[in-house]
Amino acid sequence: MSKQVSYSDAREHLKTYLDFVVQNSETLIITRKNNEDVVMMSRKDYDSMEETLYLLSSTKNRKRLLSAIKNEGKGKSVTFKSKKEMDKFFA
- Residue 26 burial (C-beta neighbours within 10 Å; 0-12, 13-18, 19+): middle
Asked if the model's pLDDT at residue 28 lies above 90, the reply is yes
Rounded Cα–Cα distance for residues 1 and 62 (Å): 26
pLDDT at 87: 81
- pLDDT tens digits, residue range 35-79? 999 999 999 999 999 999 988 888 988 888 888 888 776 776 678
Which one is predicted more confidently, 20 or 70?
A: 20
| The pLDDT value given to residue 12 | 98
Q: What is the pLDDT of residue 9?
A: 98
Residue 80 has what pLDDT? 84
Domains of the chain: 3-42 (3.40.1620.10), 44-90 (no CATH)
61 within 8 A of 55, measured Cβ to Cβ: yes
User: What's the pTM?
Assistant: 0.67
Q: Using DSSP, how many helices (H) and how many strands (E) does the chain show?
A: 5, 3
